[in-house]
Amino acid sequence: MLLAIDVGNTNIKYGVFDGENLVASFRVSSRINRTADEYGSVLVGLLADRNIQKSDIDGVIISSVIPSLNYTICHMCEYFFNLTPLMIGPGVKTGLNIKADNPKEVGADIIVNSVSAFNKYGGPLVVIDFGTATTFDVISEKGELLGVVIAPGIKTSLEGLVSKTAQLPMIELYAPKSVIGKNTKDCMQAGVIFGFAGLVDNIVNKVKKELGLNDIRVVATGGLGEIISKEVKTTITVDRTLTLHGLRIIYALNKA
């Protein structure tokens, strides 16, 4: 079985694959001050709950956007599973032609999502990741990563709003019934959800215009993708396991 690990700014996602089938997935918070033993003991417990033993894991691949956690997670894999993980980075085969000024600047999460989406849906397409940051990966019909748009994340924006104001509370994120709010919670929900829906439509329309396309497939991943997809004019396919499957594809490519 393959253990795929996606280290994000907010959460670490684990996926276990038996061949091409995702048989289990877990999510824990990303904390720099946790040790390899802490991460490992939690992961082994989660695996055991799904009747997966440490000995069942025969390969590990990691995508990380937190360099300071890389050693900890790699050490966990070596100590608990006796495996050296494949880390997404320079030298790893992805099959993706990156058209950036400096390809080394492109985040591992963007590469993995792009590989996964193009492999599953073809191109041209826009891949949106509603994570700590909101990213739009633009991929050509030939599988080239033409470029990326990076905007603040939805929760990141909300947390910034709450932390910088004295009277606005932290709220649950879902679409209110009306764009015109009658109370603080509805006002904030309308601004965040409908505001980001407008952001998505505007950026996708500008991408289509710049590429000279009448239409383009849009795929979204990340926790809030389903909420935003219901509030936009753009047709969006939500794929919450996009990143994990991208890691599986890249692992298979390098193993071969």
Domain 2-87 has CATH 3.40.50.1220: no
CA atoms in the 13 A half-sphere facing the CB of 60: 23
Query: For residue range 54-75, what is the model confidence (pLDDT) as tens digits?
Result: 999 999 999 999 999 999 999 9
Examine the residue annotation and report whether 109 is marked as an active-site residue of this protein: yes
Q: Among residues 109, 129, 137, 239, which one is catalytic?
A: 109
If you write DSSP's letter for every residue of 171-230 in order, what string do you get? ------S-SS-SSHHHHHHIIIIIHHHHHHHHHHHHHHHHHT-S--EEEEESTTHHHHHT
Query: For residue range 72-109, what is the model confidence (pLDDT) as tens digits?
Result: 999 999 999 999 999 998 889 999 999 999 988 999 99
Please, where are the H alpha helices in the chain?
Answer: 36-49, 67-81, 108-121, 154-163, 184-189, 195-211, 225-229, 242-255
| Tokens read off for 253 | 């490519």
> Partners of 136 in the beta sheet?
128, 149
- The confidence score (pLDDT) of residue 90 equals 86
Superfamily of chain region 97-246: ATPase, nucleotide binding domain (3.30.420.40)
Assess contact for 175 and 194: CB atoms under 8 A.
Answer: yes
Whether residue 222 is predicted with pLDDT greater than 90 in this model: the reply is no
Q: What is the mean pLDDT of residues 222-234?
A: 92
* pTM for this prediction: 0.91
- The confidence score (pLDDT) of residue 4 equals 98
pLDDT band of residue 211 (cuts 50, 70, 90) is: very high
Domain ranges within the chain, ordered by starting residue? 2-87, 97-246
- DSSP letter (8 states) at residue 168: P
